[in-house]
Structure formats: C-alpha cells, structure tokens
Chains A and B, each alone.
Chain A
C-alpha cells in the first residue's frame, strides 16, 4: 500500500543502500525498520570509510606533530571544521568549536557565562529564559548557572497543541534577561519554533540567544546568521556522523568575550608557572587532543547531507511526517503529542495509546523489527505539561520509506490486539 508521495527523495531504494545497517535483519529474520533517528541517525558508507581510511592511513595527533602524518591528520581535522562551517553558513571557520556532543556545547556556554565578567556577567536579579519543551540538556545547565549565580530561571510555557506560548513574551523577555536559550525543533513534540522572531525580541533587550539545533541541523537547512542565534549547538551523531563529537557555533564577538572553558593543551598561547594566556577561537575552547577521527567523519557526514541537499531532505521529512500523522490517526485510542500539521513540525512524533504503556508498545514493535523510543525522551517537563509520564516516539530521516510507516501502523494495530484492546 505504498503511496507515491510528493516530496520524497528520488531513488530512495538506491539512497538506502548507502546505509549498510538498513539491510540487516534482526532476531527471527525480521528486516530492520529504523524509526529512532531523532535518538541517533544511521551512518552512510562514506562516513564509515572516511573514518576507517583516516585511522588506517593518516592517524596522528593534530597541530603538534611535526611530521607528515601529523600534517595530514591536522589537514583532515581542520577540513572537518571547514565542512561544518559551510554546512551551517558560518561567516568564519574559527567560529566552529568542536565539543564532545551538544550537551557539552550547551554546558560550555552556561559554564563560561558563569565565569564571564563585564557585559556577559550574570548575577542576582538577572534572568535566563528557556522553554518548557527543552531537552534536559538545555534545562539543567541553566538551572546550575542560575542557582550558582543567584539569578532567576524563567521559561515559556506551551499551548495545548504543543507550540510555544508567546502571549507573555514581553513579560518574559525584559531588561533583566541576559540569556534566552531555546530549541529550534523539539525532540519530543516535533514543534519548529520561531527562533528568529524570539531572537529579535531578545536582542532588543540586549540578551544573548542560544539555540539548541540538535534536532534542526539534521532536517532543516541551517543558516546560523539568519537564525538570529548568537550561539548554536548540535551533535554529530544525529546528522549521519559519528558519536563523540558535537558543534558549538558562536558569533566571534560573543566567543571572544567568553572566558576559556577547559584548561589544557592547545587552548593556550603561552604558559608560565604564574599565569597563562590563551589561544584565539576556536582553540581557546578546545583543550586537549580533540576528537580527530570524529571530526573527519563529521565532515564527510555533512558533505553527504549537502550533496543530497538539506532542502530536499526537509521536503522528504515533511512528506514522511505527513504520511505518518495520517497513518497514526487511523489507530484507535492513539493521541499524538504536538502539532498535527506536518509543515509546522519536524520528523519526531511522540504519541500515546490508551491502555498500553509506551514500554510495552516499544517491546511489541521491537519483536517485529521496528525500532522506536519509549520513555520521557529526556523531556520530562514537556511530558508533565501534557499530563503524561512517558510516550512512544517514532522518528524518521532521509532514508525512511512510506512502507516503513505502514509497518509501524500495522505494528501498532498488532500491539492493540496483543494487549486485547480491539
């Protein structure tokens, strides 16, 4: 019952062959139906090969090895930075900082803000504004910062249909606001937030804007300048790259004013026993041996996505998401959490089924080879907002087919019958 949907990537079956894992089978000979890409994406052969090639032929430490391999490794590592800079439209490659993951990127910002002096310093009476739909990694660092500095944490609430409630924006973002940090695309509700509009308001009061683009970078064309962000974080493994590497992009003026994060090798200009001076960006924030092969793999990953085209990937996601919303609506007792209009949301769809706990849903689906996520998806406050303890989440990506959505819907029907709800 596969339909011809407008917007799907052409030759999807050929594209799927780029991802070796998609052809494996699971217990009982079940083909894999991977619908957990918001958790982590699968990797194309080119990323795997690029990383293997680096380890087999070019491995050496970067920036400190005065030999041929060191030069090759440094070039490949810094090449990864160039590719990431191009992928997000960064005005300067130096504004791209490699971290361990998006969580570390956000914690880097929150921690260096805690140590900042001058304009960026945060203290009693100051406010940090986040939203109720954040991933825990964009909540907890700000709780830590405001607790440590005696500042106040405030947040945008959510509307019943899973959007940011902007009705009190003028009350929330005020002269006291120092930081506004929000997700571009919700990992639970799928909502795409009006980041540029909120950034405009934040800049009017002189606040800096931090954007968690962990779910946006995989599926939307990202132009960091147009986004309105001052600082923007995402992770490598959700953009078909490896784990162990994340990206913090920041406007040079902001990064230059933030103090160093971790101290160590490579982040210094000179060191004496009394004091040290620090390297310029990006190295100021990259102490120690960086994730070298991961940066090389991330470069290959974003090149792969750019080659397919982020506009095309976005259109594919929208087509699959619309098809999935349509299919899920046919399952009795199923409620989607978040916007129901595919053009207003990303490809992560969380839902509840009356009478079956998400764990049990995921377990039954897994027995049919269908991988989804069950739980609170590191967004407990957003679940509380909708009065649910946990949910089941399907998330698609550029390799997802309508047939896989059909398999999910069939699997959910089977789940209902297994738990005798039909």
Chain B
C-alpha cells in the first residue's frame, strides 16, 4: 500500500511541490497561455520567453507560471522549467516528447535520466491513469505557448 504510494510520490516530487522552482509570472514574454484540467479544476497560467542566442539558435530564456493544483501538477511544472530554461527550443521540444512518451507509457517505458533528469521521478505517475493529466498540464501549456510563437513543430525540424 505504502510502496505504491511511494512509487507515485517520490521524494523529488514532494520536494518540488513544497519548493517549486521558477514559480511566478515574469516579463518579458512572447506568449502566455492558460490551461485547465476540466475534470479536477487544476489550472496553470504559463509564459514563455525565447530569444536568439549569439550562435543564432533560438533558446528558451524563461518559463514562468502561476498555478493551482495537486502535488503532481505543481511539481511537474517546477521540473519542466528546470529542464527547458536555457535549452535550444528544438532540444526542449525533444525533452517534451520524451516526457510525453514516459507519461503515456502506462509504466512500461524506461525513462532516460540523461534527458529527463529529475523528471524520471514521474515514471511512477504513469501507472496511475487518473494522474497522468496532472503531470502533463504544464507541459502541454508550455508546448502550446511555444508553438504559438515559433509555429508548428515541423517548421522547427525542417529548419534543422
């Protein structure tokens, strides 16, 4: 009983929940989105700020957010910002893809710690179908906000 719970509520998740990183809405930003989980009411308002680095690569400069929700959704937003801030946008999109695959894997996907770092703690969430949406809320908001600025992801890949 407690083991199952511990698989869901990893220490890393509870730490991020109690002490979320990068929380709060900040300027500047190019896009802001508001996503809700209609079944439970969890909400996130999320802003993205991107800029071309000196090497000409578009980078995630900042992701800021304001949110209400459960420990899983809050911790997931915190981990997201740690992972994508400072990364080239296409690399951040690849991390997003990897997290999505993990979450939709029903617990059968082995997470790559090199790519996902703290986010591997969410591997246990994938076994609780009712909680997958909680974990994905801010990630979907980030993708939505980012794509509203850079256009469809195909464009990104074509430009590689």
Contacts and interface: CB of A to CB of B under 8 A. Distances in A.
Interface stretch (B39-47, B112-120, B144-152): B39-47
A368 interface: yes
Nearest to B43: A389
Contacts of B2: 367
B68 A359 contact: no
Given A383-B41, A389-B68, A359 B4 contact: no
Given A357-B70, A380-B41, A389-B41, A367 B4 contact: yes
Contact of B40 (A30, A376, A419): A376
B85 interface: no
A244 B39 CA distance: 21
Given A358-B40, A359-B40, A376-B40, 14 more contacts: A357-B69, A359-B70, A359-B71, A359-B72, A360-B9, A360-B70, A363-B5, A363-B128, A367-B2, A368-B1, A375-B40, A389-B43, A390-B40, A420-B14
24 contacts: A27-B4, A30-B1, A357-B74, A358-B40, A359-B42, A359-B71, A359-B72, A360-B70, A364-B5, A367-B2, A367-B4, A367-B5, A368-B1, A375-B40, A375-B41, A376-B40, A389-B42, A389-B43, A389-B68, A390-B40, A390-B41, A418-B9, A419-B71, A420-B14
A380 B8 CA distance: 28
Interface string A373-409: 0111000100100000110000000000000000000
Interface of A: 27-28, 30, 356-360, 363-364, 367-368, 374-376, 380, 383, 389-390, 418-420
A368 B74 CA distance: 24
A27 B128 CA distance: 13
B134 A367 contact: no
Contact of A363 (B42, B68, B69, B131): B131
Contact-residue bracket for chain B? 20 to 34
Contacts of B72: 359-360
Interface in B27-77: 39-43, 68-72, 74
A376 B74 CA distance: 18
Contact of B70 (A30, A358, A368, A383): A358
Q: Which of B5, B8, B41, B69 is the most central at the interface, judged by chain A CB atoms within 10 Å of its CB?
A: B41
A28 B128 CA distance: 16
A359 B69 CA distance: 8
B8 A363 contact: yes
A87 to B, nearest CB: 32
Contacts of A376: 40-41
Interface in B1-22: 1-2, 4-5, 8-9, 14
A292 B115 CA distance: 56
A271 B63 CA distance: 63
Contacts of B42: 359, 389-390
A368 B5 CA distance: 10
Given A27-B4, A419-B14, A360 B40 contact: no
Contacts of A363: 5, 8, 128, 131
